[in-house]
Chain A
């Protein structure tokens, strides 16, 4: 129950009034809107608690987009509700049961027919509570706001469930990511909690892709060894495989087998095993592969795609390879949203990097907000902490 927040600690300005509304309107559908880090998932779990208090035998299910999100939600479920079913949309499509409560996250990515189907699987007195942020919609089959409201039976001008307080992000991360938020004005107007850490965002320049690989591995390992459980967000699988291959080569370890990376789906299970057997503290996380728990217990660096990172957060996030030819996504609008999703995954340290001409998303305004760093200096700092010219072994580690 690492991230679950008990009712007494919920925000009385927005979160409690919403739950009150849920409690007072049995059988009515709801949509919790809110920016990244505004506590949507926390409220979803509270809706489960409300329903179970009302009817302990209520048949409830939680439906999510990714396996990584399932892991995260299961971790947050209070002990007495651990047996609540948590499944993916794909699995839910094959269900023919009816439920008293269906909780659904990331509604912004669901096509209209899926939303209709989910709503049709409630009992006569049952209901659906959706959560989602239209600013994080990363598929072109998404359903427009108005249509969602119509399906859910929510009046068009209903605004009571919009969360305007951001609990997770720092002011700095909010500022740099705002450029990629579709609803920039309101995102900037939303309140960021004053006591959040406000760590400067770094932008690291490497002289070559090979140097960037080397720096990325060394720096992310430094964070992992110090206990930060960092994640490297990479937009596509080709880049992930290239990075892992480069690491193996650099560390003089056997390369990945061709059959793991060619033809159809990439086989991350043997890849993760291969990394483990060769003592490389990296893991791929997503689509049932990799584990949060192992990342914590073994100080692993997690590699994850922008897509799979949605709904998750990490203390330290690296977003590398931001060169002008780096393809985040074919469609420009979706690429922007994916970049927004990636930037907003960090709770504290956010480290961006590139090695050639900057990607167009590294705008002047964004760059101005970052602390510039150089991969060569960073590597020197990590590998040879600042020594004295006289070589008297007085090493400065601060």
Chain B
């Protein structure tokens, strides 16, 4: 069964002119279960909702089509097939007088959606990575695959079959009134730990009995008790730094942290913090209409300055979870389109923000940033770049590229330098 995927706008034009030019590459065999999912998605194109796309089945003559590009008239459409059963009524509403046939095969549907989910998720990851210049965290790429698999389970509503830690992480929702403030996200990590290891209220109430009956569970509970101690005594205003201080002195929390460790994530990261940040960013992203707003970007940057690796990875995880549609404005604002009217700089880092009415302030502030990056008393290494990358991230693409190139050239010179690395870097930038 040969068909082409279309949407309501293209279909309307098709009806309007009675014909449409189609490329052979766009033809889809709806009966071929073995077709590659990547190819299928390329032919269908990206879409958000099932009702946006439908298939126009063409008469059999197109099976033998030899031309690369050819016209198809509306009279050659034999059926309209939706993506799924549930959107038939919506399509009937939108298409008015046309008959809507049975949906496409479920295997094909799942294949298409899984591929779309993967594409949109990875694009989301790349958008947030580019937007905040998050290029430096060493992680095993498998983590991303694990998250996408967990997300697919959630999409196809099979998240009751929780196997991996990421299945629990992605499907977790706060079911108790933990504080709305940041400390609440550490409660969330405790809650998901309880869920993952099936620690019930009864287990906690009768934990003394478990000491002998189930020592492993008793140990897991002791981690929850220890985290609870912090949650009741920790600084509510700056819970994460307060947590880190507490963590340093707590052997139990260190074991808790190890229990959370996944092989895809470097052991050096604080996993409790990583997941608390993930919940923090998830909430922030859900609640923010405009992600280019400095209220959002400055919070992200604050976390990146505080605990760079944990914040970076949790942001990338959010990138995967929400996908490209949520981050497109942020991305377009940070990586200017050639067709944009004028470059805009949404990242208004407090130290670099130029206030036109106060002529003294910017000069002083910029000096301070410059001092951090290339001051002669500091060594010139990768850390130097880390210190200034949030500033670089806020620059126009061309400047960003130039500075990165200059930095690489200074750090790994192809010939012997006649000056020190910092001077070479500055001179290269000035070229």
Question: Which A positions have Cβ atoms within 8 angstroms of B?
Answer: 5-6, 8-9, 13, 157, 159, 162, 164-165, 171, 185-186, 188-191, 194-200, 202, 222-223, 226-228, 316, 349, 371, 377, 381, 386-390, 394-398
Contacts and interface: CB of A to CB of B under 8 A. Distances in A.
Given A185-B89, A191-B50, A386-B204, A394 B174 contact: no
A165 B289 contact: no
Q: Is the interface of A mostly helix, strand, loop or mixed?
A: loop
B194 interface: yes
A226 B49 contact: no
Contact of A9 (B52, B209, B329): B329
Contacts of A13: 48-49, 52
B187 A165 contact: no
Interface stretch (B127-135, B223-231, B302-310, B421-429): B223-231
B231 A164 contact: no
Interface stretch (B142-150, B177-185, B268-276, B397-405): B177-185
B178 A395 contact: no
Given A395-B228, A398-B191, A398-B231, A197 B286 contact: yes
Contact of A189 (B48, B87, B187, B190): B87
Given A164-B51, A190-B90, A386-B204, A227 B180 contact: yes
Given A5-B289, A157-B96, A189 B191 contact: no
A398 B228 contact: yes
Interface in B173-210: 173-175, 177-181, 184, 187, 190-191, 194, 201, 204-209
Contacts of A164: 49, 51, 90
Nearest to A394: B225
A226 to B, nearest CB: 4
B345 interface: no
Contact of A226 (B90, B180, B227): B180
Interface in B89-132: 89-90, 93-94, 96
B286 A195 contact: yes
A377 B205 CA distance: 12
B180 A228 contact: yes
Interface in B344-377: none
Residue of A226, A388, A397 with most partner-chain B CB within 10 A: A397
Nearest to B226: A394
B201 A386 contact: yes
Given A186-B89, A223-B177, A226-B177, A398 B227 contact: yes
Contact of B290 (A9, A165, A388, A389): A9
A386 B205 contact: yes
B193 to A, nearest CB: 8
A228 B177 CA distance: 8
Contacts of A9: 289-290, 329
A396 B155 contact: no
Interface in B217-245: 224-225, 227-229, 231-232
Contacts of A228: 177, 180
Nearest to A222: B177
A238 to B, nearest CB: 29
B36 interface: no
B322 interface: yes
A200 B175 contact: yes
A37 to B, nearest CB: 14
A162 B178 CA distance: 38
8 contacts: A164-B90, A171-B157, A185-B89, A186-B90, A186-B93, A195-B285, A227-B180, A349-B175
B163 to A, nearest CB: 19
Nearest to B209: A389
Contacts of A395: 228, 232
Contacts of B231: 397-398
A195 B232 CA distance: 31
Given A226-B177, A389-B206, 11 more contacts: A8-B329, A13-B48, A164-B90, A165-B49, A185-B89, A186-B90, A200-B175, A226-B180, A386-B201, A398-B178, A398-B190
A397 B232 contact: yes
A146 to B, nearest CB: 16
B326 interface: yes
Nearest to B322: A195
Contact of B175 (A227, A371, A377): A371
Contacts of A191: 48-51
Given A9-B289, A395-B228, A398-B224, A227 B201 contact: no
A386 B173 CA distance: 21
A316 B89 CA distance: 32
Nearest to A386: B204
Contacts of B229: 394
Given A189-B89, A191-B49, A398-B194, A199 B228 contact: no
B228 A397 contact: yes
Contacts of B88: 189
B93 A226 contact: no
A381 B208 contact: no
Contacts of A202: 175
Contacts of B86: 188-189
Contacts of A5: 289
A231 to B, nearest CB: 14
Contacts of A223: 177
A54 B181 CA distance: 43
A195 B326 contact: yes
Residue of B155, B177, B179 with most partner-chain A CB within 10 A: B177
A159 B96 contact: yes
A202 B225 CA distance: 26
Contacts of A394: 225, 228-229
A289 B153 CA distance: 46
B159 to A, nearest CB: 10
Nearest to A3: B289
B96 A397 contact: no
A267 B88 CA distance: 50
Contacts of B52: 13
Contact of A389 (B93, B94, B155, B205): B205
Contacts of B174: 197, 199
Contact of B173 (A199, A387, A397, A398): A199
B78 to A, nearest CB: 24
Contacts of B155: 194
B243 to A, nearest CB: 14
A185 B93 CA distance: 13
B90 A189 contact: yes
Contacts of B49: 13, 164-165, 191
A196 B322 CA distance: 10
A199 B283 CA distance: 13
A396 B204 contact: yes
